[in-house]
Amino acid sequence: MIKFLLGVIVVLALIGGAIKFQSDG
């Protein structure tokens, strides 16, 4: 369960970073 939550957080962070990067670029 904890690993699942950590995985979700990592995925959301990667997606958010990608969107922010595209918005900046």
**CA dihedral in degrees (9, 14, 20, 25; nearest 10)?**
170
CA dist 22 and 7 (Å) reads 23
Q: Measured between alpha carbons, how far is residue 5 from residues 1, 15, 23 in Å?
A: 6, 15, 27
pTM recorded for the entire structure: 0.59
Condensed to tens digits (0 to 9), the pLDDT of residues 1-25 reads 899 999 999 999 999 999 988 887 6
CA dist 11 and 20 (Å) reads 14
